[in-house]
Structure 1
Amino acid sequence: MSKIRKILSLSLNSKRTKLFNWHTKNYNLNGGTSNMSDDIEIRVIASLNEPEYDWRTVSGIARENSLNKDVVEHAIFKLQMKGVVVESSNLDDNGHEIFTTKKKYMRKGNFANRILTALSDKVK
């Protein structure tokens, strides 16, 4: 691994760890997952895997599942930390962040974008 890539990787992991610690503290989590948060994560993944959508917004997932947007954002963050969900480097037409599952992205994304994804925490 090149020295630059190694430094970027360490920096990214440090940022993710800080974000995870912030979420853990602010959502009163004890590091584990409860049955309720597991259920929410499963519902979020199911929404992201809907065949009629390539990418989904937090508000769309929240509306579909009758959940608070903060709850969906937290679930997406946890799923990103687990490597299940990816965020696009692009925004939707209204300027909102968009997400999909890594599996769906790898199946539908083109080869060049998948290579770039391996070097970044966001996808094109």
Structure 2
Amino acid sequence: MALDLAMPILVVDDYQTMVRIIRNLLKQLGFEDIDDASDGTTALQKLKQKSYGLVISDWNMEPMTGYELLRHVRADDSLRTTPFIMVTAESKTENVIAAKKAGVNNYIVKPFNAQTLKSKIEAVCGA
């Protein structure tokens, strides 16, 4: 199964430069429908308004972290199955384990390139 380049993707990061970088990488890969949110609270509101094929979220954000966002998504029956990739600058084993336990589909450590992002999306969304 090929990647669905038309699927809507939500990029969640409080650092606008990172949002731009991820958005540009996604566009390089051929994705067009890309929304963004600057924190978990805003992301949760957007997730309730629109059906996303994938969430790519930073871990470290205020007031709601990517980890808390992930827990909210997995606890919500209508959002539970949404593929979720966590992005972080830290590769702490306990964070990876916590995210896995909370139901993250995949994990990317910054910095990363388009190829890394593509392989993670393929692993999550089935290519």
Q: Structure 1-normalised TM-score? A: 0.28
The structure richer in helix per residue is 1
Please tell me whether Structure 1 or Structure 2 has the larger radius of gyration of its CA atoms: 1
Which has the bigger relative contact order, CA under 8 A and spacing at least 6? 2
